[in-house]
């Protein structure tokens, strides 16, 4: 499967009477977009804000981050099964507003949303401080239950990203990058001497606002399966999570998965990138056994020599991670796992809730329990008081002068387990 990504570099966002992309600037008609989002009867109010790199702005609680994209050629549309019909994506051409993002916030959905600081020390811990962000502040109608609230905010973010993406449909990209994965047979014939590598991506699917959607289907209702890597790049996987912000995979992470990009960079020269196995993270032991059995079975069926396994979340999912690792290693397939650590504020505690001798090749994305102090910002978008209740915060996290003292756990993307950050450890 072959996908062309046409990147259009965005260096600024501005409100204007006409929505358009012109000379690297994204112009947004706020009234038009707001009316579009307010078509959802579960949303009481929508306001739009702009947060640029380096500005003294704090956004919290952050629900999701989405990169605007639009299908230009090929089957399907962006976010299939949710905003578009259920057609296979990952081929043709997609235009990307690179350097721009939609960030959703508003009244807290679950206690595990996060913080994005656009400047100061907090900005160093989140990749989203480097983007020109259109912040969509959604407030739900009174009495709306959490699940309907989460869905309304999730859809608002996706709709806003699709609205912005469509503005780029007829814009000439600044660069076009091509990604192609051959079929299994073609790959063996084309790269007979290269090691065959697959990527096992664990998706957060524990329920209770811990959900990920694949072609619109809640992945906890599915068995592990395979995707072409380009399907991830084309919006097949969407975040519905309200989990710890530091290692949550936002929709932006799925669209720009660095494991996929790095494997593509070596594809055809150092290795044969066979494809992606997506699996879920379950609550009950029997479900964990079933899914890890299937992940190992698929890796064996594809005849791979090695896999990279990435986790999402911590604690209970550590068991899924180690099960996947053990069972794939038992098939004679080498594994590397990517995780983060919850090792206590002093870093002295056990990093994972589970372990095994076969997990001897580990990449860590940092210690989520590390305590940081975030100085006050001139502007706060959202609700600053939730700093006292979000995961990584505590009573007294928000101080009188606007300073917030929290664990890295509270910063969106700080210890992301795809490696989409700058932290690691030895």
Question: What digits encode the pLDDT tens for the residues 279-289?
Answer: 999 999 999 99
Sequence-distant (6+) residues with CB within 8 A of 185 are none
Of 108, 136, 113, the closest CA to residue 13 belongs to 136
Structure tokens at 92: 């043709």
Work out the average pLDDT over 95-102. Answer: 98
Residues present in the chain in total: 426
| Catalytic residue list | 242
pLDDT band at 60 (very low <50, low <70, confident <90, very high): very high
Distance of CA 385 to the CA centre of its chain: 25
Structure tokens at 211: 């959900």
Distance from C-alpha of 404 to C-alpha of 372, rounded to nearest angstrom? 8
pLDDT band at 275 (very low <50, low <70, confident <90, very high): very high
* Residues in a beta bridge with 225: 278
pLDDT digits (tens, 9 = 90+) for 241-269: 988 999 999 999 999 999 999 999 999 99
Structure tokens at 130: 């480097």
pLDDT of 112 > 90? The answer is: no
Distance from C-alpha of 262 to C-alpha of 249, rounded to nearest angstrom? 17
Distances (CA, A) of 240 to 118, 143, 147, 251, 354: 24, 21, 10, 8, 26
Distance from C-alpha of 245 to C-alpha of 242, rounded to nearest angstrom? 8
Structure tokens at 82: 């949710």
Q: Would you state the pLDDT for residue 426?
A: 64
Helices (H), 72-183: 146-166
Sign of CA dihedral 152, 154, 156, 158: negative
Structure tokens at 338: 């990517």
Distance from C-alpha of 2 to C-alpha of 96, rounded to nearest angstrom? 16
Distance from C-alpha of 44 to C-alpha of 148, rounded to nearest angstrom? 13
What angle do the packed helices 316-330 and 285-301 form, to 10 degrees?
30
Inter-residue contact 384 to 260 (CB < 8 Å):
no
Sign of CA dihedral 15, 18, 22, 28: positive
Distance from C-alpha of 127 to C-alpha of 197, rounded to nearest angstrom? 27
Work out the average pLDDT over 202-229. Answer: 95
Q: Would you state the pLDDT for residue 218?
A: 96
pLDDT of 372 > 90? The answer is: yes
Of 62, 115, 104, 109, the closest CA to residue 410 belongs to 115
Place of tokens 């300073």: 403
Mapped onto helix, strand or coil, the DSSP state of residue 296 is: helix
Distance from C-alpha of 412 to C-alpha of 140, rounded to nearest angstrom? 22
Phi, psi of 387 (to 5 degrees): -60, -25
Distance from C-alpha of 275 to C-alpha of 188, rounded to nearest angstrom? 13
In this prediction, what percent of the chain has a pLDDT beyond 90? 95
Distance of CA 63 to the CA centre of its chain: 11
Helices (H), 25-118: 30-37
Inter-residue contact 246 to 340 (CB < 8 Å):
yes
Distance from C-alpha of 99 to C-alpha of 12, rounded to nearest angstrom? 9
pLDDT of 425 > 80? The answer is: no
Mean pLDDT score across all residues of the chain: 96
Distance from C-alpha of 298 to C-alpha of 304, rounded to nearest angstrom? 9
Inter-residue contact 132 to 10 (CB < 8 Å):
yes
Distance from C-alpha of 305 to C-alpha of 54, rounded to nearest angstrom? 44
Q: In this structure, what DSSP letter does residue 136 have? A: E
Transcribe 332-399 into DSSP letters.
Answer: T-EEEEEEEE---TTS-S-SSS---TT---EEEEEETT-EEEE---SEEEE-GGGGGTSBTB-TT-B-
Q: Would you state the pLDDT for residue 273?
A: 97
Distance from C-alpha of 126 to C-alpha of 379, rounded to nearest angstrom? 18
């Amino acid at each position: 499967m072959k996908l062309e990504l046409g990147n259009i570099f965005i260096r600024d966002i501005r409100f204007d009477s006409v929505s358009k992309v012109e000379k690297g600037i994204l112009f947004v008609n706020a009234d038009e977009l707001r009316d579009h989002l307010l078509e959802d009867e579960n949303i009481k109010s929508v306001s739009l804000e702009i947060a640029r790199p380096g500005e003294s702005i704090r956004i919290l609680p952050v629900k999701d981050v989405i990169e605007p994209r639009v299908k230009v050629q090929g089957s399907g549309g962006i976010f299939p099964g949710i905003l578009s019909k259920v057609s296979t994506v990952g081929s043709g051409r997609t235009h990307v507003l690179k350097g721009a993002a939609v960030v959703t916030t508003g009244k807290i959905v679950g206690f595990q949303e996060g913080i994005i600081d656009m400047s100061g020390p907090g900005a160093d811990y989140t990749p989203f401080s480097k983007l020109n962000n259109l912040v969509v502040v959604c407030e739900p109608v009174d009495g709306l239950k959490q699940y309907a609230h989460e869905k309304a905010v999730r859809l608002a973010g996706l709709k806003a990203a699709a609205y912005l993406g469509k503005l780029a449909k007829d814009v000439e990209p600044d660069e076009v990058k091509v990604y192609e994965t051959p079929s299994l047979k073609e790959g063996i014939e084309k790269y007979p001497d290269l090691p065959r590598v697959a990527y096992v991506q664990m998706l957060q699917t524990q329920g209770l606002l811990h959900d990920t959607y694949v072609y619109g289907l809640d992945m906890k209702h599915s068995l592990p399966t395979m995707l072409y890597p380009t399907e991830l790049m084309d919006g097949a996987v969407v975040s519905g999570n309200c989990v710890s912000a530091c290692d949550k995979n936002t929709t932006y992470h799925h669209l720009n998965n660095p494991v996929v990009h790095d494997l593509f960079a070596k594809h055809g020269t150092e290795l044969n990138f066979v494809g992606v196995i997506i699996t879920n993270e379950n609550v009950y032991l029997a479900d964990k056994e079933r899914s890890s059995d299937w992940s190992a079975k698929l890796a064996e069926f594809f005849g791979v020599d090695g896999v990279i396994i990435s986790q999402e979340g911590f604690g209970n999912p550590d068991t899924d991670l180690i099960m996947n690792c053990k069972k794939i290693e038992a098939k004679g397939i080498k594994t590397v796992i990517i995780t983060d650590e919850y090792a206590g504020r002093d870093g002295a505690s056990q990093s994972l809730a589970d372990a095994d001798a076969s997990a001897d090749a580990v990449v860590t994305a940092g210690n989520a329990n590390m305590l940081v102090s975030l100085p006050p910002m001139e502007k706060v978008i959202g609700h600053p008081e939730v700093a006292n209740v979000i995961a990584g915060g505590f009573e007294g996290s928000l101080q009188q002068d606007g300073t917030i003292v929290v664990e890295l756990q509270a910063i969106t993307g700080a210890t992301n387990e795809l490696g989409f950050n700058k932290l690691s450890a030895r």
